[in-house]
Amino acid sequence: MSKPKVCVICKGGIEQKKTPEGKVYWDSGENAEPYAEGRCCGSCNDIFVIPARMEDMMKAAAMRARREKSRQLQGRLPGLPNDER
């Protein structure tokens, strides 16, 4: 039960989180998705996984915005500046 888990990114050991009483309550690290598949240590999570996740979120947001925009544009085809005075 106490075999050390290994980070899929740095291959180092995953740190165990302990209560103030020294009881291990978490030893499975962090979810390494979308950077890698599996579990990773806390520092790899901060350095690699969170930025990758942010990037994914940014991409998803940009995609959503683009889709939204093109829907708006399609509403006023053929795209001439017809509200110019």
Residues that bind Zn ion (CB under 5 A): 7, 9-10, 12, 40-41, 44
Nearest distance from residue 3's CB to Zn ion, in Å?
17
Q: CB-wise, 37 or 68, nearer to Zn ion? A: 37
> Which run of H or E residues covers position 13?
none
Question: Cα(8)–Cα(33) distance, rounded to whole angstroms?
Answer: 11
Q: CB-wise, 3 or 85, nearer to Zn ion? A: 3
Nearest distance from residue 22's CB to Zn ion, in Å?
23
Question: Cα(14)–Cα(29) distance, rounded to whole angstroms?
Answer: 6
Q: CB-wise, 12 or 34, nearer to Zn ion? A: 12
DSSP sequence for 25-38: EE-S-EE-TTTSSS
